[in-house]
Structure formats: C-alpha cells, structure tokens
Homo-oligomer: A and B are copies of this chain.
Amino acid sequence: MERIEHRACFGGWQDVYQHRSEVLDCEMKFAVYLPPQAATQKLPVLYWLSGLTCNEQNFITKAGAQRYAAEHGLILVAPDTSPRGDEVADAEGYDLGKGAGFYLNATQEPWARHYRMHDYIVDELPALIQAHFPATDARGISGHSMGGHGALVLALRNPGRYRSVSAFSPIVAPSQVPWGEKAFSAYLGPDRSAWSQWDASELVATATERLPLLVDQGDADEFLGGQLQPQRLQAACEAAGHPLQLRLQPGHDHSYYFIASFIGDHIAHHAKAL
C-alpha cells in the first residue's frame, strides 16, 4: 500500500492511497481523511460511495466534508467506483464498466473476474483501514446516486455491519429504472430473480435489521423522475415498517452543490450513531 497524496486539511490529513486489491484483482486507489483527533485516538469510519463516472477524487475535492469530520472526529473513506486498469473489462457509455461498478458482485462474463465491489467495500477495504489507520470497527456508510444505491444495499444486505446509513439522490429501485436495468442485465444476467438481492426497495421487505434510512433528494434533480424515483423506496419502507426519513430539498439538483449543502447534516447523523 502506497500513499500517493498527503495534504493538510482542517487540522488533519487528506490522503490518497494506492494498493493491490485481491478481491478485485487489480490496483485500486482510495481516499482517507484523518481528522485531528486521529493523531491520538481510534475513531469510527464513515464510508462514502460515489456515483457514476466518479473516482476517489470527487468527494474529497467537492463535498467540503472534511470540516464536519474534523468537528465530529470521524475518519472518512472514499473508494473508487469500480475496478481499474487495462486488464479490466469496460463498455461504451458512462453507465457500465469502469466508473460504474454499482457496488455488486458480478456473476456474468466478462465482468465476474474483477467487478466484485460489494466484497471490496464490505470486507477487504475495512480490513485494510483497520490494519493501517486508527479506526475502530464502528462503521457508517453513505453515498450519492449510484453510490447512494450502494450505501442502502450494502447496509441492508449486511445486518450488524453498519451502525448508520444515509444517501443523497440514490437510485432506490435499480430493477425498475434504465441505469439499473442496463447494469444488472450485464453484471447479473437476464434472470431478474437474481436482481432482487441488489435492489434496496426489494431488500427492505425482508430486512432483519431495521436500520433507519436517511435520504436527501433534490426536487430539481434532472434524474428524479427517470432514474431515481424515491417514492418506490418510500412505498417499500411503508409496507415493511422500515424507518425512512426522506427529505425532498427544494431547488436542489444532482450536483455536488447539493451534497455540500447537506453533508454536514449527514455527518452529524452518522456521528450520533457512531
């Protein structure tokens, strides 16, 4: 594991590391923010999953999250959004292949060898973080768009693994919208029965742990009606009795200006649980 960026930020350090992932069978980068408190004590970790086309840089350069992490004493970990490298399968278009891993374990060729982002985020990366940084095993997870889908699904699939979960503008019902249908068809194959275990709105129906979901959604989001459709998650949570706080934020779109405006709320939400 090699540190490739190291920058003072709000009394702590915004670092980026490169390492060989066994699970993904490729070189990966991730960003980690160590707040000032990390110099003297172990701290809980908030994982951030970014959206389509992003890598480990978007969140750390645009969200302004470090200020709040420094206030609350949280480590922030922002991984890349897919396996990377010349040997990794890719596709035309921004919504499949590199930059579009959807935080699942692919079962279909040519994806199955490298596209195992679920196992990377849930198991391999946290083990690495706990081995190399002053991190406790208290974890929260959040993300944006495809990464909001990832945060919801990883928390729902892995009861006990995360103490808190939130999402900005998440894809909540990937089986029902174009982005999800394209990705799931490729990564999981045409049999839709295999899709339900990667769909937050289906997972809440059978969740054994009722971890409260905090979701922020801009009402001027250009993807609201076509790709996001948060009302599907709302209906599923109501049917299952799963706790959901869905906040429709007036005027906000799908951008990092939206995330920056409310990341302080989300970090306070996670800090309370962690």
Q: Smallest distance from the beta carbon of A172 to chain B beta carbons, Å?
A: 21
Q: Which residue of B lies closest to A60 (CB)?
A: B257
Q: Smallest Cβ distance from A219 to chain B, in angstroms?
A: 9
Further contacts, 11 of them, CB under 8 A, given A8-B249, A61-B61, A62-B62: A7-B253, A8-B220, A8-B250, A8-B252, A8-B261, A9-B257, A10-B261, A11-B261, A64-B67, A64-B260, A66-B261
Q: Which residue of the partner chain B has the closest CB to A255?
A: B7
Per-residue CB contact flags for chain A residues 244-268 toward chain B (1 = under 8 Å, else 0) read 0000011111011110110010000
For residue A14, CB closer than 8 A to chain B, the reply is: yes
Query: Interface readout for A148-170 with B: 1 if CB under 8 Å, 0 if not?
Result: 00000000000000000000000
Main secondary structure of the interface of A (DSSP, over half): mixed
Q: State the Cβ distance, A73 to closest chain B Cβ, in Å.
A: 17
Tell me whether A10 and B260 are in contact (CB under 8 A).
Answer: yes
User: What does the 1/0 interface line of A14-48 toward B look like (CB < 8 Å)?
Assistant: 10000000000000000000000000000000000
Determine if B64 and A257 form an interchain contact, defined as CB atoms under 8 angstroms apart: no
Tell yes or no: A79 within 8 A of B by CB.
no
- Which residues from chain B contact A253 at a C-beta distance below 8 Å? 7-8
- A195 to B: closest C-beta gap in Å: 33
Among residues of B, the one whose C-beta sits closest to the C-beta of A261 is B10
Q: Are A257 and B14 in contact (CB under 8 A)?
A: yes
Query: How long is the Cα–Cα vector from A161 to B259 in the complex, in angstroms?
Result: 36
A97 / chain B contacts, CB cutoff of 8 Å: none
Q: Which residues from B are CB-within-8-Å of A8?
A: 218, 220, 249-253, 257-258, 261
Q: Smallest distance from the beta carbon of A215 to chain B beta carbons, Å?
A: 17
In Å, the complex CA distance between A221 and B273 comes to 37
Q: Chain B contacts of A11 at CB under 8 A?
A: 261
9 residue pairs of the A-B complex, CB under 8 angstroms, read: A8-B220, A8-B250, A8-B253, A8-B261, A9-B261, A10-B261, A14-B257, A64-B64, A64-B260
Q: Give CA–CA (A124, B64) in the complex, Å.
A: 32
Residues of chain B with a CB closer than 8 A to A220's CB: 8
Using CB atoms, name the residue of chain B closest to A33. B257
A70-97 residues at the B interface, CB under 8 angstroms: none
**A67 (CB) vs chain B CBs: closest residue:** B64
Shortest Cβ-Cβ A-B pairs, 5 listed: A64-B64, A8-B251, A9-B257, A7-B257, A8-B252
* Complex: chain B residue closest to A65, CB-CB: B64
A261 vs B12: C-alpha distance when bound (angstroms)? 10
Chain B residues closer than 8 Å to A218, beta-carbon distance: 8
Closest to A62 in B: B61
A249 to B11, CA, bound (A): 10
